[in-house]
C-alpha cells in the first residue's frame, strides 16, 4: 500500500498489468458464447467495378452455414462520419480492394471461409482512380457518381495578408513534400461479438476508442435508436486512431446475428487489417515560406492535396488539422492554406496518431531546417526565435496557457549534441548527422459549438472501496491507471482500493472517447472533479460523525483524521458502512460532467478549441550508409511538455511507442499499390520496425503546469510521434547534405539522392 507519497508523477505500474502479462486479460477474441457463430466477409478483389450479379446459393447450401447476407438483407441507410457515403455492403459498385460485398455466419470459421469462396460475383471492371491530381480533373472517372466530383472537401483558410507579407520578406522559399499511407498495425486485430438480447436490444462487444460514438454509428447504420444498442469494450490491444469509428463489419455482423438468430463473432485477419484498416491520410504538400535575414518567420502559404480513398471517414478533419495546426507552432504574421481532399479507389484513409499534424509537421519542420541552413542560420536557433510562447494567441485563435516549446527545443538540441558520436566517419562510407524538429498538438479538440468534455461517476461501496466509471477508452495507453491515480490522490486512498470499471454504454457516463490526446486532460479532469465532489460528501459526513469541523479533517491512507488529535479518526470503510447502513443514507455516489473552458472554432475555423496545447521537440542522430543509402537512427532525444506528469511510466511508454512508430513511418512502413491494388497485404511485405532497429531513446519531460488540466497535465498520446520524421530528415541532411522530401525515406531514395548530389557536385 502506497503511503505518504503522492500518486501524481510517480512511476505507477498499470493497474491491469498483471492480467495482461499473465495472459488472463480477456480481449475480444477470448469471448465466446454457447451457440456462437463465426462471420467472414467477402471483399472486392477489384479497386473499381460494377457488380453485375451476386449468387449466394452455393454458399447458403454449405453445411454449417447459418446465414448469408448481401446488401439486399441490410438497411440501405448511408452512414459515415461527416459525410454519409458508406453502405454496409456494396450496392451496385465496389470502390476499393477490400470493399465489403457479402457476409456469412457459420458454425465454424472454416465453414464461413469456405462459404465466402462459394459466393459467385460477376463484375464489370471500371477505370481506376488512383492519382489525386488526375482525380480532380473533370474527365476523371467518379468514385461516387452521385456526388459528381471526386473532391470530397476543400478548405481555404487565410489569416493576415500573405501576399503583402511575402513581398516584404528578405527570402521566399518554396518546396514540395509528400507523405504516404501507413497502417495502424496494432497488436490486436479489430472485431466484434454481437448478440441480440431477448428484449430486442443489441449488445456489441468491440474494442472501440469511442464507445458512445460507436453506439450512435451502429444504430444509424442499422436504423434503430442509439439507446437500443449497448457497446461494451473488452481489453483493447492498441488502436492508434483506427478504432475511433466503426467499420462496416459492425453493422454487418449485427445483421448476420439477427438473420442467424445467434451470437456472432468476427475478428479480422491480419490481411484484412492491412486491406481495410483506415491508414494515415497521404497528402502532397506545396509550401512557401517567407523569412527575414535574422531568421524571423513571417508568412507561410500551403497547398495540400490529400488522398481520401474510397469512402470518407475522418479524412476531412485530418485535412483541416493539416491546414491549421502548424501555423500555430511559430509566430507567423500571416498564413494561407488551400487544401483539397480527393476520392480515389484506394483504401479509405482516416485519423491515425497525429491526425494530420504529423504529415504537415514533416513538411514544415523539414522545410524550415533547409531554409535556415540555406541562409546560414542554425535551424534550431531559428525555431527557438520564432517559437510560440505562453500567453500568445496564435493566428488561428489558440490561447496558449502553458508552453514549453522553446525549452523542449533547447533540451533536444543540448542532449543530442552533448552525446553525439565522433564525427570521424564523416567522410568515409558511414556518415553521421544530427537533426532537431519540434511540434505542437492539442489535448482535446472542440468541434464547433459541440461538447468536448467528459463525465465520470464515482461510487464508494460499503467496504470503502472506490469504483470509477468513465466513458473514455483505455486502448492500452494506461487511461485506467491515470484515472485510478487521480481518484486515489484526491480521495487519499490506496490505488489498490480503486477499480476502474469496464466500458458499457448503458452504464458508463457519457464521454466522447479516446482521440485528440484528450483522455488524461479531459477524462482525467472529470474524474478529478467527481473525486473532489465525493470527497466533499465524505468529509461532511465524517465531520458529523466525528463531531469535528470539516476544515480540521484530512484523509490519508483511507483514514479520515482530526488534525489536532490523530486518535480521533474514522476509516473510509467504517464511514461508508455508517453512511450506507444508517439513517444518514449518504449515497457516496456522484456523477460529474466536465467541459473545458474553451471555445469551439467558428465557421472560419478560428477559435481556442483545445483545453491545452502541447509542445515537444525531438533530437535525432542518424548514421547513413552512403553505399546503400540505408539510414539508421542511433539516438533520439524526445523532449515533451506534458504540463505535469501523472504516470511517469505512461508518459515514457507513450514516448517510446511514439518514437518507434515515428521511425517506422519515416523509414520502413509503406502501403504500396499498383493500379489500385494493394501490394502490401501482410506483415511479410509491409515492414514494421523490430526491436533490433530501435535506437536509444532519452525522454526529457518538461512540466509547464497547465492551468486547466488535472494537476496541470496535458495530453501526450499523439505528440510523441509528430516530430520524429522531420528530425530524421534533418539529421540526414546534416549527415550527407541531401534532403528527402517524400516519405518514407527508403534506402533507394537516399541512394539516388546521394547519386544526384554527387552528379550536381561534379557539375
Counting contacts by CB under 8 A, is residue 549 touching a copy of itself?
Answer: no
Counting contacts by CB under 8 A, is residue 82 touching a copy of itself?
Answer: no
Place of cell 542532449: 415
Cβ neighbors of 547 (< 8 A, separation 6 or more) are: none
Q: Supply the DSSP string of 622-674, one letter for each residue.
A: EEEETTT--EEEEEEEEEEE-SS-SBHHHHHHHHHHHHHHHHIIIII----EE
Counting contacts by CB under 8 A, is residue 595 touching a copy of itself?
Answer: yes
CA angle 416, 420, 422 (to 5 degrees): 165
Q: Return the residue of 120, 133, 381, 463 that touches a copy of itself, per CB under 8 A.
A: 463
Counting contacts by CB under 8 A, is residue 198 touching a copy of itself?
Answer: yes
Which range touches a copy of itself (CB under 8 A), out of 5-13, 136-144, 211-219, 363-371?
211-219
Q: How many other CB atoms sit within 10 Å of the CB of residue 378?
A: 15
Q: Return the residue of 226, 238, 425, 695 that touches a copy of itself, per CB under 8 A.
A: 226
Residue 360 C-beta: closest distance to a copy of itself, Å: 28
Counting contacts by CB under 8 A, is residue 540 touching a copy of itself?
Answer: no
Residue 503 C-beta: closest distance to a copy of itself, Å: 12
Distance CA(702)–CA(705), nearest Å, equals 9
Q: Return the residue of 585, 684, 691, 761 that touches a copy of itself, per CB under 8 A.
A: 585
Residue 24: all three cell numbers together: 488472463
Distance CA(487)–CA(508), nearest Å, equals 16
3-state secondary structure labels for all residues of 729-747 = HHHHHHHHCCCCCECCCCH
Q: Which is nearer to a copy of itself, 600 or 737 (CB)?
A: 600
Q: Which is nearer to a copy of itself, 510 or 668 (CB)?
A: 510
Residue 513 C-beta: closest distance to a copy of itself, Å: 13
Which range touches a copy of itself (CB under 8 A), out of 63-71, 222-230, 310-318, 754-762?
222-230
Burial, 224: exposed, middle or buried (Cβ in 10 Å; 0-12, 13-18, 19+)? middle
Which range touches a copy of itself (CB under 8 A), out of 53-61, 101-109, 587-595, 725-733?
587-595
Q: Tell me which long-range contacts 745-748 makes (C-beta under 8 A, separation of at least 24).
A: 745/631, 745/666, 745/667, 746/629, 746/667, 746/670, 747/625, 747/628, 747/629, 747/630, 747/631, 748/629
Q: Which is nearer to a copy of itself, 490 or 534 (CB)?
A: 534
Counting contacts by CB under 8 A, is residue 450 touching a copy of itself?
Answer: yes
Q: Which is nearer to a copy of itself, 133 or 261 (CB)?
A: 261
Nearest to 701 by CA among 635, 647, 620, 642: 642
3-state secondary structure labels for all residues of 29-65 = HHCCCCCCEEEEEEECCCCCEEEEEEECHHHHHCCCE
Nearest to 83 by CA among 156, 146, 132, 157: 146
Residue 380: all three cell numbers together: 534550431
Counting contacts by CB under 8 A, is residue 81 touching a copy of itself?
Answer: no
Place of cell 489536532: 564
Q: Return the residue of 123, 173, 467, 668 that touches a copy of itself, per CB under 8 A.
A: 467
Counting contacts by CB under 8 A, is residue 75 touching a copy of itself?
Answer: no
Which range touches a copy of itself (CB under 8 A), out of 37-45, 450-458, 534-542, 564-572?
450-458
Phi/psi at 679 (5° precision): -95, -20
Q: Return the residue of 78, 373, 420, 461 that touches a copy of itself, per CB under 8 A.
A: 461
Q: How many residues touch a copy of itself (CB under 8 A)?
A: 50
Residue 608 C-beta: closest distance to a copy of itself, Å: 13
Kindly write out the interface string for residues 359-398 of this chain, putting x where it contacts a copy of itself by CB under 8 A and - elsewhere.
----------------------------------------
Q: Which is nearer to a copy of itself, 373 or 533 (CB)?
A: 533
Q: Return the residue of 17, 142, 151, 501 that touches a copy of itself, per CB under 8 A.
A: 501
Type and span of the H or E element at 204:
strand 202-205
Counting contacts by CB under 8 A, is residue 19 touching a copy of itself?
Answer: yes
Counting contacts by CB under 8 A, is residue 136 touching a copy of itself?
Answer: no
Residue 566 C-beta: closest distance to a copy of itself, Å: 25
CA angle 278, 281, 283 (to 5 degrees): 160
Residue 539 C-beta: closest distance to a copy of itself, Å: 18
Helix orientation angle between 249-260 and 211-222, rounded to the nearest 10 degrees? 60
Q: Return the residue of 593, 630, 649, 747 that touches a copy of itself, per CB under 8 A.
A: 593
Residue 460 C-beta: closest distance to a copy of itself, Å: 9
Q: How many residues does the chain have?
A: 763
Counting contacts by CB under 8 A, is residue 685 touching a copy of itself?
Answer: no
Which range touches a copy of itself (CB under 8 A), out of 15-23, 76-84, 279-287, 292-300?
15-23
Residue 594 C-beta: closest distance to a copy of itself, Å: 8
Residues from 616 through 655 that contact a copy of itself (CB under 8 A): none
Which range touches a copy of itself (CB under 8 A), out of 180-188, 279-287, 500-508, 717-725?
500-508
Residues from 470 through 499 that contact a copy of itself (CB under 8 A): 499
Residue 279 C-beta: closest distance to a copy of itself, Å: 29
The answer to whether 425 and 431 are in contact (CB under 8 A) is yes
Q: Report helix, strand or coil for 432.
A: strand
Q: Report helix, strand or coil for 534.
A: helix
Phi/psi at 547 (5° precision): 70, 30
Q: Which is nearer to a copy of itself, 596 or 678 (CB)?
A: 596
The answer to whether 144 and 86 are in contact (CB under 8 A) is no
Q: Return the residue of 75, 238, 600, 695 that touches a copy of itself, per CB under 8 A.
A: 600
Distance CA(472)–CA(502), nearest Å, equals 10
Q: Return the residue of 158, 537, 589, 649 that touches a copy of itself, per CB under 8 A.
A: 589
Counting contacts by CB under 8 A, is residue 25 touching a copy of itself?
Answer: yes
Type and span of the H or E element at 284:
strand 282-291
Which range touches a copy of itself (CB under 8 A), out of 89-97, 135-143, 270-278, 455-463?
455-463
Q: Which is nearer to a copy of itself, 150 or 233 (CB)?
A: 233
Distance CA(701)–CA(657), nearest Å, equals 15
Q: What is the bridge-based pairing of β-strands 151-159 and 498-500?
A: unpaired
Residue 493: all three cell numbers together: 486512498
Counting contacts by CB under 8 A, is residue 351 touching a copy of itself?
Answer: no
Counting contacts by CB under 8 A, is residue 606 touching a copy of itself?
Answer: no
Residue 477 C-beta: closest distance to a copy of itself, Å: 19
Beta strands in 111-159 (DSSP E): 120-125, 151-159
Counting contacts by CB under 8 A, is residue 451 touching a copy of itself?
Answer: yes
Residue 504 C-beta: closest distance to a copy of itself, Å: 8
Q: Supply the DSSP string of 70-112, one letter for each residue.
A: EGGGS----EESSSEEE-SS-SSEE-STT-EEEEEEESSHHHH
Q: Report helix, strand or coil for 280.
A: strand
Q: Return the residue of 41, 88, 324, 586 that touches a copy of itself, per CB under 8 A.
A: 586
Write out the residues near a copy of itself by the rule CB under 8 A. 16, 18-19, 24-26, 32-34, 198-199, 201, 212, 216, 219, 225-227, 449-451, 453, 455, 457, 461-463, 465, 467, 499, 501, 506-507, 509-510, 580-583, 585-587, 589-595, 600
Amino acid at each position: 500500500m502506497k503511503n505518504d507519497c503522492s500518486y501524481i508523477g510517480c512511476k505507477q505500474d498499470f493497474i491491469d498489468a498483471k492480467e495482461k502479462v499473465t495472459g488472463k486479460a480477456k480481449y475480444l477474441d477470448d469471448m465466446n458464447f454457447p451457440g456462437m457463430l463465426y462471420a467472414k466477409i467477402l471483399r472486392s478483389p477489384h479497386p473499381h467495378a460494377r457488380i453485375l450479379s451476386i449468387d449466394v446459393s452455393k454458399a447458403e447450401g454449405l453445411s454449417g452455414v447459418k446465414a448469408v447476407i448481401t446488401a439486399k438483407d441490410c438497411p440501405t441507410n448511408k452512414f459515415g462520419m461527416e459525410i454519409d457515403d458508406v453502405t454496409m455492403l456494396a450496392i451496385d459498385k465496389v470502390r476499393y480492394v477490400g470493399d465489403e460485398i457479402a457476409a456469412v455466419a457459420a458454425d465454424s470459421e472454416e465453414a464461413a471461409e469456405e462459404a465466402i469462396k462459394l459466393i459467385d460475383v460477376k463484375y464489370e471492371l471500371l477505370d481506376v482512380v488512383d492519382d489525386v491530381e488526375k482525380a480532380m480533373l473533370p474527365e476523371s472517372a467518379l468514385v461516387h457518381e452521385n456526388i459528381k466530383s471526386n473532391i470530397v472537401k476543400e478548405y481555404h483558410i487565410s489569416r493576415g495578408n500573405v501576399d503583402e507579407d511575402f513581398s516584404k520578406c528578405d527570402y521566399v522559399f518554396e518546396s514540395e513534400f509528400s507523405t504516404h499511407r501507413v497502417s495502424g498495425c496494432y497488436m490486436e486485430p479489430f472485431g466484434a461479438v454481437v448478440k441480440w438480447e431477448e428484449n430486442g436490444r443489441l449488445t456489441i462487444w468491440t474494442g472501440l476508442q469511442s464507445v458512445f460514438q460507436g453506439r450512435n454509428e451502429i444504430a444509424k447504420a442499422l436504423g434503430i435508436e442509439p439507446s437500443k444498442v449497448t457497446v461494451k469494450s473488452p481489453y483493447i490491444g492498441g488502436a492508434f486512431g483506427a478504432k475511433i469509428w466503426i467499420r462496416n463489419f459492425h453493422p454487418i455482423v449485427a445483421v448476420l446475428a439477427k438473420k442467424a438468430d445467434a451470437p456472432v463473432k468476427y475478428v479480422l485477419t491480419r490481411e484484412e487489417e492491412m486491406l481495410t484498416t483506415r491508414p494515415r491520410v497521404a497528402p502532397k504538400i506545396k509550401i512557401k515560406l517567407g523569412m527575414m535575414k535574422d531568421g524571423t518567420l513571417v508568412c507561410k502559404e500551403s497547398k495540400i492535396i490529400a488522398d481520401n480513398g474510397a469512402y470518407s471517414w475522418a479524412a476531412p478533419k485530418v485535412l483541416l488539422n493539416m491546414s491549421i495546426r502548424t501555423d500555430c507552432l511559430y509566430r507567423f504574421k500571416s498564413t494561407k492554406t488551400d487544401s483539397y481532399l480527393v476520392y480515389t479507389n484506394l483504401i479509405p484513409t482516416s485519423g491515425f496518431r497525429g491526425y494530420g499534424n504529423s504529415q504537415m509537421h514533416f513538411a514544415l519542420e523539414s522545410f524550415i531546417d533547409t531554409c535556415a541552413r540555406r541562409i546560414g542560420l542554425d535551424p534550431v536557433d531559428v525555431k527557438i526565435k520564432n517559437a510560440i510562447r505562453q500567453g500568445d494567441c496564435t493566428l488561428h485563435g489558440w490561447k496558449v496557457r502553458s508552453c514549453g516549446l522553446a525549452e523542449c527545443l533547447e533540451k533536444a538540441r543540448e542532449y543530442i549534441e552533448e552525446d553525439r558520436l565522433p564525427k570521424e566517419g564523416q567522410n568515409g562510407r558511414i556518415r553521421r548527422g544530427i537533426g532537431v524538429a519540434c511540434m505542437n498538438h492539442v489535448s482535446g479538440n472542440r468541434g464547433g459549438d459541440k461538447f468536448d468534455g467528459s463525465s465520470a461517476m464515482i461510487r464508494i461501496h460499503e467496504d470503502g472501496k472506490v469504483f470509477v466509471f468513465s466513458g473514455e477508452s483505455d486502448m492500452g495507453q494506461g487511461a485506467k491507471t491515470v484515472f485510478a491515480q487521480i481518484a486515489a490522490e484526491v480521495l487519499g486512498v490506496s490505488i489498490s482500493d480503486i477499480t476502474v470499471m469496464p466500458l458499457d454504454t448503458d452504464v458508463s457516463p457519457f464521454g466522447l472517447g479516446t482521440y485528440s490526446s484528450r483522455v488524461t486532460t479531459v477524462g482525467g479532469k472529470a474524474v478529478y472533479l467527481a473525486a473532489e465532489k465525493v470527497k466533499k460528501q465524505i468529509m461532511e459526513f465524517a465531520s458529523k460523525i466525528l463531531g469535528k469541523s470539516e476544515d480540521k479533517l484530512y484523509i490519508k491512507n483511507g483514514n479520515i483524521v482530526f488534525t489536532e488529535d490523530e486518535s480521533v479518526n474514522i476509516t473510509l470503510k467504517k464511514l461508508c458502512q455508517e453512511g450506507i447502513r444508517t439513517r444518514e443514507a449518504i449515497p457516496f455516489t456522484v456523477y460529474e460532467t466536465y467541459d473545458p473552458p474553451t471555445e469551439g472554432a467558428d465557421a472560419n475555423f478560428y477559435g481556442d478549441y483545445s483545453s491545452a496545447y502541447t509542445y515537444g521537440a525531438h533530437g535525432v542522430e542518424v548514421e547513413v550508409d552512403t553505399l546503400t543509402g540505408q539510414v539508421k537512427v542511433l539516438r533520439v532525444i524526445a523532449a515533451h511538455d506534458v504540463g505535469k506528469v501523472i504516470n511517469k511510466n505512461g508518459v515514457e511508454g507513450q514516448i517510446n511507442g511514439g518514437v518507434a512508430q515515428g521511425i517506422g513511418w519515416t523509414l520502413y512502413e509503406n502501403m504500396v499499390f499498383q493500379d489500385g491494388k494493394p501490394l502490401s497485404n501482410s506483415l511479410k511485405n509491409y515492414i514494421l520496425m523490430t526491436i533490433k532497429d530501435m535506437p536509444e531513446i532519452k525522454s526529457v519531460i518538461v512540466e509547464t503546469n497547465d492551468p486547466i488540466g488535472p494537476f496541470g497535465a496535458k495530453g501526450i498520446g499523439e505528440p510523441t510521434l509528430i516530430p520524429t520524421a522531420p528530425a530524421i530528415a534533418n539529421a540526414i541532411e546534416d549527415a550527407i547534405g541531401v534532403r528527402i522530401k517524400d516519405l518514407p525515406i527508403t534506402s533507394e531514395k537516399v541512394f539516388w539522392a546521394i547519386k544526384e548530389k554527387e552528379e550536381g557536385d561534379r557539375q
